[in-house]
Amino acid sequence: MTNAIEIRAVEKAFGNVRIIQDLNLTVAKGERHAIIGPNGAGKSTTFNLISGHITPTSGEITLNGERISGLRPFEINRRGLSRSFQVTNVFAKMTVWENIRCAVLWATGQRYAFWKNVDNLPEVRRRTAEILEDIHLTHRRDVPAGLLTYAEQRELEIGITIAGGANVIMLDEPTAGMSNTETDRAVALIRRLTEGRTLVIVEHDMSVVFGLADRISVLVYGNIIASGTPEEIRGNPKVKEAYLGEEEH
């Protein structure tokens, strides 16, 4: 069975500085995989490498067996991979409804149509309403996204990410800046929405990581030092030394 994502011997250098060196990672289909690591380890860079924002200096990345390293972000997105952003990246001037609607347009086959009225597309309307319901933001559908609360924006962010129906979802610190209640809500949402899909998540909140993930990879200085089930990671001495330190979880 092909893996959802495979990263093989990937290196990324900016000028003379090697941020990522000899990165190897495998994410199986349907798996919930968390990437953790200290700040500056290269987690965002890894995400950007997978989603096509930047290209590897060497090495290969595949999605469902197909090579995606070197493709542009929208080409990768069309092959079924979608990501969210650490800094909320919604369409601030558009309403919540419009945000989600834009996210479903490509998946419903609208392409660049300039001869159809976007309000008269029942399939588009149905899917948008469905996703709004899933992320519990139907009551806020007419509010410009820039005016939402921070937690609501993060939920909208997740909504936009899954709206296109991608089966590989990558979330970059989705619960950053949330209170405990908000985090619990978000985790429940993520668990529900990624049922049956592959999830790759970067997180700092260890309770989220250990509660959500099937497998965890630890990234330190651009290198995966350990990869395994939560129990294996918890017990791994290298990981304890490099990252978890004195944390009790």
Residue 229 CA to residue 93 CA, distance in Å, equals 42
Residue number with CB closer to other proteins (7 or 169): 169
In the list 105, 135, 171, 224, the residue contacting other proteins (rule: CB under 8 A) is: 105
Q: Provide the β-strand partners of residue 168.
A: 81, 198
Region from 40-48, 59-67, 135-143, 225-233 binding other proteins, contact rule CB under 8 A: 135-143
Provide the minimum distance between the beta carbon of 249 and other proteins in the complex, in angstroms, as a whole number.
32
Q: Which helix (H) or strand (E) holds 122?
A: helix 122-134
* Residue window 13-52: x/- pattern of binding to other proteins, with contact defined by CB under 8 A: --------------------------------------x-
DSSP reduced 3-state for 247 = coil
Report, in Å, the least distance between residue 132 CB and other proteins: 10
- Please report whether residue 89 would count as binding other proteins according to CB under 8 A: yes
* Widest pairwise Cα distance in the chain: 61
**Could you give the CA distance from residue 155 to residue 143 in angstroms, rounded to a whole number?**
14
Nearer of residues 8 and 79 to other proteins, judged by Cβ:
79
How far, in Å, CA of 147 to CA of 86, rounded? 18
SS3 17: strand
Among 2, 66, 67, 113, which residue sits at the site for other proteins (rule: CB under 8 A)? 113
Tell the smallest beta-carbon distance from residue 68 to other proteins (Å): 14
